[in-house]
Amino acid sequence: MNIYVANVPYSVKDQDLRELFEPFGEVTSAKIIMDKVTNRSRGFGFVEMSDDNSGRAAIEGTNGKNFHGRDLVVNEARPRTEGDRGGFGGGGGRSFGGGDRGGFRGDRGGDRGGDRGGYRSDRGDRGDRGFRRDEY
């Protein structure tokens, strides 16, 4: 059984996590997840137990337990789905003038297609303010 362990103190190492779960049964692996950029703990990890019964006992025995000054949140890990890729999801585009920007960010038309993105020559999109391109 794969177990997700959250609210783990940043000082905890893989071995500390393993030792916390060993009284409940055979621990196949214990891993604190590290930030790739800073190489510091992200405050959570995963423990894999050899069988489901010991896994359930470990969840019952450690969830809410104070460990190195923090109350752990422990539950069965869910399998990753296609949408679980991390990072910042959704949001849509951020065009500041509308229009198709063509092939890639910063493209203002030219031989890559697109309608010049954020800048329009007549400024008809500005309503009655009457701005013209040469007034900027």
Q: Is the pLDDT of residue 26 over 80?
A: yes
62, containing H or E segment: helix 52-62
Q: What is the pLDDT of residue 92?
A: 47
Q: Determine the average pLDDT of the residues in 42-48.
A: 97
- 3.30.70.330, 3.40.50.300, 3.50.50.60, 3.40.50.1000: which CATH number matches 2-76? 3.30.70.330
What tokens were used for 78? 């869910």
CB 48 within 8 A of CB 76: no
Question: How confident is the model over 93-127, as pLDDT tens digits?
Answer: 444 454 554 544 554 555 555 454 554 445 455 45
* Rg, the chain, Cα only: 26
Q: Per-domain residue ranges for the chain?
A: 2-76
